[in-house]
Structure 1
Amino acid sequence: MAMEKTFDPASIEAKWAHLWESRGLFRPERPDAQPFTIVNPPPNVTGALHIGHALDNTLQDVLVRYERLRGKDALWVVGTDHAGIATQMVVERQMDAKGDKRTNYSREAFIDKVWEWKAESGGQITGQLRRLGCSMDWSREQFTMDPHFTDAVLKVFVDLHKEGLIYRDKRLVNWDPKLKTAISDLEVETRETKGGFWHFKYPLADGVTLDDGRDYIEVATTRPETMLADMAVAVHPDDARYKSVIGKFVTLPITGRRIAIVADEHADPELGTGAVKITPGHDFNDFDVGRRAGFAAADMLNMLDGDANVCQTQDGLVPAEYIGLHRFRRDGLDGAREAIIARLKADGFLIPHVDKDGEEHDAEPRTIQTPFGDRGGVVIEPWLTDQWYVDAATLAQPAIAAVRNGDINIVPKSWEKTYYNWMDNIQPWCVSRQLWWGHRIPAFYFPPLNDAGLPEYGDPANVETIVAETAEAAVEIARRTIYSTCIPALNEKFKSEGKDSKVVFEQAATWSDAGARMASAGIPTLGRDHADYPIYFVRDPDVLDTWFSSALWPFATLGWPNDSDLLKRHYPNDVLVSGFDILFFWNARMAMQGLHFMKEVPWKTMYLHGLVRAPDGAKMSKSKGNVIDPLGLIDKYGADALRFFMAAMESQGRDIKMDDARLAGYRNFATKLWNATRFCEANGITASTSFEAPEATRPVNRWILGEVADTVAAIDKAFAAFRFDEAANAIYSFAWNSFCDWYLELIKGAIDEETKAVAGWVLDQILVMLHPFMPFITEELWTVTGDRADYPLITARWPEVTIARDQQASDDINWLIKLVGELRAAKAELGLPPGARLAAHFPESLRGRTETLAAQCDRLARLDSIRFDPAPAGASAQLVVEGETITVPLEGVIDLGAERDRLTKALAAATKERDSLAGRLGNPSFVERAKPEAVEKARADHDAKAAEADRLTAALARLG
């Protein structure tokens, strides 16, 4: 069937995506082949394809298709993350739109609604990945809430707890008051906000004064409301102003709390007053200062509840009028901040700020870097709560060693220093989240026994904690430990009283519910006739951070903890491809968990790519309105062009700037290949029937076979070094320049049977080498050039070219290409039409070469005559090709005087603009103050004008 005249990406992409997947070609049966494994960073189930996904998945697919072509058993694990916060928010928003809310349902009923949402709407991004051409093993698509994955998560939690590597602790967390959950650092975004720097007097206690006679310490803060929970004032140990009062006390305004003045290097003598109020329960730095000062976390004061409203502190010193106030002004009402400032001002403790005009203000205006929850959209509150933590410092040690000893190879190497710095200073990892959707923490709380040997439902903090994978397992442990004597005694009592009762365990929703139910059952009155005696227990209501479960991705997706054949064959994985921005949140944690549970690294190479930026270099964000939709780019340019752009621009972790001109260029590249294949079709050039290169005698054919060998070697070398850009550019240069521009031109009019065989074979090799980057067009062309229904390109063989290059043929053809290039450049510089035929005088040393290539010289170089005698006197163009000078007489060909004038004027204009731009770039004021994009444009314009001036200078020189 004849090819269509024009290349239409849309018409072939959907067809091939369906055929590949439906025929199982993304994972062909290769049980005896060498395995190759990549796991895809699981996108959120709520997500849609964004430009970062397009880069990340393109690079992975390029590697997978390359290794599949090399005959390996290539497995690309695909799946989605349950995205606890994001998914719960989506479902709650939908409920809110219907006038409904989560709290109208039981936990179980709400989770059912989330599963319903996933079934209806949770597969958007997987469909979009298919549009990109991702050859993932869709038959084994994973989800982090699948039953087998949940089993793995629970086992990891329980095992780490048994080893003392998971524990419950009271520490500061990033608390989102809107979502009412702790969130990770990754979910916190810092924004600049307008705020103030307030100065207050903290009166010194016990009649103490500073050396300057003041009876107070001046503190400065951007968060005056937190003074309700201040526990100390810190000064630098070497600050002479305060040495005399270290160890003394101040009496806090409003609360009257007596707090110590402590020495700590956190206090910067150059910042503010050098004295810092310390609120360890509401500031991460203050938390560390507080611990150094000897405060236990349990004793640190908390002045806010989960809604960020003021609550009473443990010492009961917060005045009643502040209880219940929100931390900030809200809904037109003053909050705690405004109330505190007003009270301190009224009581004379506020020190006003005097501006440059001598006017007084309550505070000094400041631009403050403020943390916001990226989903809740409100200011994050450092909040002291009981949470579950992983001992990341212990788990990090083998992962650090794995990189140091080379078991894990980080590419590019420049990221190793960052990796070590973070891992060497890693903090405990908070893994609990106050949500309903997610892996519920397998911790169960049981009532302790009182003095009478009976369960006591009192303080929720006073419980017996058992960590087990199931409630049934937890109950069995409780029977053997907590209640080993209690249960037999009670059962014996029932028996002695002749009552048909026994001790049973029942799960309650909350601790208070358990106590209420126990009381209603008549406890401690025992022996209800024919009724069992219940002991109620409660499961921890929190769920695990989604990064906890995704850290198991490299092995849980392969069937762990079951010892499956898939796990044995494909763990460890070969390579991880991800953005550098999740190096710590995901990659490092996978390394820790993989080494701990599998005793091997999860992957041998970790490749970190950069970000995709807007055309002006700015980071993309919805707030800036510069987000680019990759699906829109696919609609406009085709998936192949977008994929090739991503690979060609990926240069070992450097950020990529979007460039529509390049995308259009790669779309044109696809079109050029399409048209070249149509040329082959029209000239009887069809698919090769041999994997080996055909025999060739003609120089042009021997040359192109050598070029194939060089290109295969260059691509293999680039892939071995993870140089996606070099691999893409190697096949681009060969396909566009060597094959389409030169080989097809060189063989025109002389396509014999040998040339047909060579051209067909070379085209096949181009399609194979280009396939990892542009799978759709290459598969289509592979199909239309030959009847290969049972041998699709996706599972073809990667070229293994062992051709011995014919150096003479290569030298001759490369010389001809340079000659034609020089002639065409000279014509363009001198204003001659490309088809103008010229005479040329060659040195005698080139006689043999020009006679061998006479037909090509006539057709491509457009030379009417080739002579070997000296050129006549007069103006001429001097062409230097590989050190040999070829003279082209110009007398009678062009108006030499007019051409000199034209070139001289153009050179003067180009030189003037070049020098003007050089002067601007040499001005430090411009470079430092102008917008980065303006400086970059000036540099590009300067380079262009410099190149133009060089070209015009060369053209003038040619005229002699």
Structure 2
Amino acid sequence: MSTTELPKQYNPLEAETKWQKYWEDSGVFVAESNSDRPPYCIMIPPPNVTGSLHMGHAFQEILIDILIRYHRMRGFNTLWLPGTDHASIAVQTILDKQIKAEGKTNQEIGREKFLERAWQWKAESGGTIVSQLRRLGASADWTRERFTMDAGLSNAVTEAFVKLYDAGLIYRGEYLVNWCPASQSAVSDLEVDSKEVQGHLWNFRYPLADGSGHLVVATTRPETMLGDTAVAVNPEDDRYQHLIGKTVMLPIMNREIPIIADQYVDRTFGSGCVKITPAHDPNDFEMGQRHNLPLINILNKDGSVNENGGEFQGQDRFVARKNVVAKLESLGLVEKIEDYTHSVPYSERGKVPVEPLLSIQWFVKIKPLADNALEQFDQHNSPTFVPDRWGKVYRDWLVRIKDWCISRQLWWGHQIPAWYAPDGTIFVAKTEAEAYAQAQAKFGADVTLERDPDVLDTWFSSGLWPFSTLGWPEATADFQTFYPTSVLVTGFDIIFFWVARMTMMAGYFTGKMPFHTVYIHGLVRDENNQKMSKSKNNGIDPLLLINKYGTDALRYSLVKEVTGAGQDIRLDYNRKTDESTTVETARNFANKLWNASRFVIMNLDGNHHSAIIPNENLELADRWILSRYHQTILQVREQLDAYSLGEASRSLYEFFWGDFCDWYIELVKSRLQESADPQSRDRVRQTLSLVLDGVLRLLHPFVPHVTEEIWQLLTYGTSEPSSDRPVLAIQPYPSLDNASIDPELEEQFNLLFGTIRTIRNLRAEAEIKPSAKLTVILQSENERERSLLAAAKSYILDLARVEDMAIVEAISGKDTEKAIAGVIGTVQVIVSLVGVVDIAQLTAKLERSLAKLEAAIAASQNRLNNEGYVKKAPPEVVATARAELAESLKQQEILKARLAQLQGNS
């Protein structure tokens, strides 16, 4: 394409599709297994294979891509390894619904057929989010894409399980777990959503066994009283000290249970007495362990009451709740029932309240793993957290962490590599053949084994992600080159569930922390500053905004909103029109980049001026923009290295839009004319070319597609991809030339720009026509300032549309006659009104405006001084009226000052 035929408008969708495909097809993003270049590696936090792109994904992947592209351009051997998580619960939920819709059950089709369907679903529908990530411009090495259930990672999971079991760090036992009655599976804390529920607090009387009275206990789950094994009080509660050690009769069940003392009991809650049900409450379970209380489970796995529930056996837990209350009322044992708002944990998968339930499960003995991770953090600050406040959160979690329930009663996932002999003996092995070899050595050749049907918690496999994806347990070239990884980019909400599990697993299996740095980003909030979430139904589909504004616009808008590491961002969005002022502003920036680049390219002589003449031969404006350019390089590189990505994006915005477009291009337009001095024209072309090239490189990690498109046009005169030409994506990031930075020159130009702005403001205040040429006096007692203004005189004459300008040390009264004045720093700017303004006419106009404004002010003041109006009017109306009055008073002050100046000159 000829440089004179550049499109007037940038087409983001066309350019983004073109360059993303070319980058991937040409291997731009592929890392080297062996390289002399320093490695830089980030693992994608694997999204669920069932997922679709949401704004949280978009924000996170954009941050990662900026870091990856920045380091790739800096010459690192850069690997961004993508992949997806098998999402046991989510996939099983989808398949359960499909099978149910066919009128069948999982048990009818069997495990083997179920898994066939799961893999088929994954092949057909499991790649949605991966294709959507590509729409974001993710520069991941897609040739290394992994899946948590691919052969290599499955092998790593088995290896890890067997090693932990052999070391005594995995065990099987009956403990309290989160149980989902709908899916009939244990679920992790992360698979539980807490919801605020309007319920009741029931207060029941438990008679003392000796007949001397009763205790009142309160509960939100009356049905669990069927499994009570104690009543607890605080040992320092004077009301009940005389009862500690005595017993009460458990109503309905007529079971004698003890009164115990425990510091956990809150004396100020209710009566200060707490019913203890160790088999159905985690806090009660711990108390039961401390006091050797029996565990009585009263629920079946489907949520119905079992044989331990007496007359309520077979009833659903919520039916039993009503019937237990009715029975206690009939016995006269209900003290009172209060309305009560409380948090109830719901199963994310089953959409029903979870039950703490005794169940035989597999657990990881977590303390040895946590202690190792703690040692690395305390002694070596490994990993380092950004912002560092999250390090304390991470540490506190490691200190308080409990044994980890890793088994799930599902079929889709990594089946636990454990086999059972008829007598219950457990054989853990990497393969069935190995398990049989162990069993036959113990029981003989005729032994039969049955494999554990459960699968592992998905966090078990994702806990291995930083090293299993690189080939562990084999010492592959990728593992040797890229492990430990460089940085983990993730949200604060999974520090506990994923970050800590990765550090514990990696510390145990590799002896190293899996990443040097953990960069914790904030949340994306909606137009009302609310966290986006499924439950609030306030999410925004990033693809809607990408299709409307382009990928680069979405990328830049999200990053530019980050005000500090870990800070939340707000995305303005109109749900009726799918419009976003935040993204529109970023789209305007992309358009500004395109239009300014188009101006530069069309004013070059058909060549990309890569060389720059020595600094001493440059003109003042050229030296200034090069100083600002290198100052920006220094600033942006420091900000990116410190994970201040939002600050870096704003620095680039301010330099390009402000320094380069608003000032430098305007300063040099006259030098690009055919009538200009040829040497001066050549210098400005070289400077424009060099700075634009550098700006495109600096901006590329943030807005990769538009910068690639422009760079190709700037460098080669065409934007059609070709294997014969390199791409911007792997060009060197701009390097700093300290010699080009001139702080004194920048300070001088700040004065120059301030002077031009002041002249423009005075022109507007005096309502001087834009076409009118001005006569201006600049007065300063500072010789250095006068010298600078004299050197920059041509710029002032050009940009402020000044015809005649004097630069003086002092002024006389005659200089200020029929003139308007302003000040910038210690420079007084005097603009003559002679011949450009009818002072009498302007004065009369301003007086009319002032009279009208003062009448409105008086009316507003009268209204606001009326107590009746202030009391009766809505508060927001009164607040608006006061704000409008304050603004009117400011305008009155400005008009009076302008009139005083004009009247002094009349």
On whether the aligned pair clears a TM of 0.5, the verdict is yes
Secondary structure of the structure 2 residue equivalent to 1:536: coil
Following superposition of structure 1 onto structure 2, how do residues 414-453 of structure 1 map, counting pairs within 5 Å? 414-448=389-423
Distance 1:900 1:186 in 2: 68
Secondary structure of the structure 2 residue equivalent to 1:106: helix
Cα 1:28/1:464, change in 2 over 3 Å: closer
Cα 1:604/1:148, change in 2 over 3 Å: same
Cα 1:906/1:575, change in 2 over 3 Å: farther
1:97 maps to what in 2? 101
Compute the displacement of 1:546 (Å): 0.6
1:793 maps to what in 2? 728
Relative to the length of structure 2, the TM-score reads 0.89
Following superposition of structure 1 onto structure 2, how do residues 33-72 of structure 1 map, counting pairs within 5 Å? 33-72=37-76
Paired residue type of 1:231: T
CA contact (8 A) 1:41 1:578 kept: yes
Q: Indicate yes or no: 2:296 matched with 1:301.
A: yes
1:246 maps to what in 2? 244
Secondary structure of the structure 2 residue equivalent to 1:423: helix
Cα 1:399/1:822, change in 2 over 3 Å: farther
What is the aligned-residue RMSD (CA, Å)?
2.9
Distance 2:474 2:787 in 1: 72
Structure 2's unaligned 5+ residue stretches are: 573-579, 673-680, 902-906
Q: Indicate yes or no: 2:670 matched with 1:666.
A: no
Q: Indicate yes or no: 2:700 matched with 1:771.
A: yes
Distance 1:387 1:912 in 2: 76
Compute the displacement of 1:835 (Å): 4.5
2:754 maps to what in 1? 818
Distance 2:743 2:147 in 1: 56
Structure 1's unaligned 5+ residue stretches are: 210-214, 329-334, 354-362, 449-462, 488-502, 504-533
Q: Name which of 864, 870, 873 aligns with 2:803.
A: 864
Q: Indicate yes or no: 2:330 matched with 1:340.
A: no
Q: Indicate yes or no: 2:618 matched with 1:697.
A: yes
Distance 1:26 1:914 in 2: 66
Q: Name which of 672, 681, 688 aligns with 2:601.
A: 681
Secondary structure of the structure 2 residue equivalent to 1:369: strand
Cα displacement string for residues 834-874 of structure 1 (whole angstroms, at most 9, x for unaligned residues): 44432211126455434433332222011121124635344
Cα 1:737/1:904, change in 2 over 3 Å: farther
2:368 maps to what in 1? 394
Q: Indicate yes or no: 2:324 matched with 1:412.
A: no
Cα 1:682/1:229, change in 2 over 3 Å: same
CA contact (8 A) 1:279 1:287 kept: yes
Give % identity.
Answer: 41
Deviates more, 1:372-381 or 1:809-818: 809-818
1:469 maps to what in 2? 430
Q: Indicate yes or no: 2:630 matched with 1:630.
A: no
Distance 1:942 1:545 in 2: 59
Compute the displacement of 1:717 (Å): 0.7
1:496 maps to what in 2? none
CA contact (8 A) 1:911 1:949 kept: no
Paired residue type of 2:75: G
Give the count of matched residue pairs: 855
Paired residue type of 1:547: W
Cα 1:688/1:157, change in 2 over 3 Å: same
Compute the displacement of 1:910 (Å): 9.3
Deviates more, 1:601-610 or 1:394-403: 394-403
CA contact (8 A) 1:176 1:380 kept: yes
Cα displacement string for residues 482-523 of structure 1 (whole angstroms, at most 9, x for unaligned residues): 33xxx3xxxxxxxxxxxxxxx3xxxxxxxxxxxxxxxxxxxx
Cα 1:273/1:769, change in 2 over 3 Å: same
CA contact (8 A) 1:841 1:867 kept: yes
Secondary structure of the structure 1 residue equivalent to 2:20: helix
Q: Indicate yes or no: 2:365 matched with 1:376.
A: no
Compute the displacement of 1:429 (Å): 1.1
Secondary structure of the structure 1 residue equivalent to 2:426: strand
Compute the displacement of 1:599 (Å): 0.8
Paired residue type of 1:478: A
Paired residue type of 1:479: Q
Q: Indicate yes or no: 2:4 matched with 1:4.
A: no
Q: Name which of 305, 314, 317 aligns with 1:324.
A: 314
Secondary structure of the structure 1 residue equivalent to 2:307: coil
Cα displacement string for residues 174-225 of structure 1 (whole angstroms, at most 9, x for unaligned residues): 11111111111111111122211112221221x252xxxxx22222211111
1:493 maps to what in 2? none
1:494 maps to what in 2? none
Q: Indicate yes or no: 2:842 matched with 1:898.
A: no
Q: Indicate yes or no: 2:711 matched with 1:750.
A: no
Deviates more, 1:844-853 or 1:557-566: 844-853
Distance 2:185 2:857 in 1: 63
Compute the displacement of 1:368 (Å): 2.1
Secondary structure of the structure 1 residue equivalent to 2:559: helix
Following superposition of structure 1 onto structure 2, how do residues 707-856 of structure 1 map, counting pairs within 5 Å? 707-751=628-672, 752-787=681-716, 789=722, 790-802=725-737, 803-806=739-742, 809-843=745-779, 845=783, 848-856=787-795
Distance 1:907 1:75 in 2: 67
Cα displacement string for residues 15-71 of structure 1 (whole angstroms, at most 9, x for unaligned residues): 111111111111265822111000110000000000000110000000000001101
Distance 1:279 1:668 in 2: 62
Secondary structure of the structure 1 residue equivalent to 2:567: coil
Compute the displacement of 1:829 (Å): 4.5
Cα displacement string for residues 593-652 of structure 1 (whole angstroms, at most 9, x for unaligned residues): 111111111111101011101111112233433211111111122111111112112221
Cα 1:573/1:694, change in 2 over 3 Å: farther
Cα 1:236/1:833, change in 2 over 3 Å: farther
Cα 1:674/1:950, change in 2 over 3 Å: farther
CA contact (8 A) 1:830 1:899 kept: no
Paired residue type of 1:424: V
CA contact (8 A) 1:685 1:760 kept: no
Deviates more, 1:871-880 or 1:223-232: 871-880
2:821 maps to what in 1? 878
CA contact (8 A) 2:609 2:685 kept: no
Paired residue type of 2:20: A
Secondary structure of the structure 1 residue equivalent to 2:830: strand
Distance 2:148 2:225 in 1: 43
Cα 1:464/1:612, change in 2 over 3 Å: same
Following superposition of structure 1 onto structure 2, how do residues 219-230 of structure 1 map, counting pairs within 5 Å? 219-230=217-228
Secondary structure of the structure 2 residue equivalent to 1:620: coil
CA contact (8 A) 1:876 1:890 kept: yes
Distance 1:21 1:888 in 2: 60
Q: Indicate yes or no: 2:167 matched with 1:163.
A: yes
CA contact (8 A) 1:233 1:259 kept: yes
Distance 1:640 1:908 in 2: 50
Compute the displacement of 1:381 (Å): 0.7
Distance 1:163 1:915 in 2: 84
Compute the displacement of 1:812 (Å): 4.5
Paired residue type of 2:652: I
CA contact (8 A) 1:711 1:730 kept: yes
Deviates more, 1:260-269 or 1:228-237: 260-269
Cα 1:274/1:28, change in 2 over 3 Å: closer
CA contact (8 A) 1:643 1:774 kept: yes
1:888 maps to what in 2? 831
Cα 1:828/1:257, change in 2 over 3 Å: farther
Q: Indicate yes or no: 2:440 matched with 1:479.
A: yes
Cα 1:172/1:938, change in 2 over 3 Å: farther
Q: Name which of 119, 132, 137 aligns with 2:123.
A: 119
Distance 2:611 2:229 in 1: 79
Deviates more, 1:552-561 or 1:246-255: 246-255
Compute the displacement of 1:77 (Å): 0.8
Relative to the length of structure 1, the TM-score reads 0.84
Secondary structure of the structure 1 residue equivalent to 2:539: coil
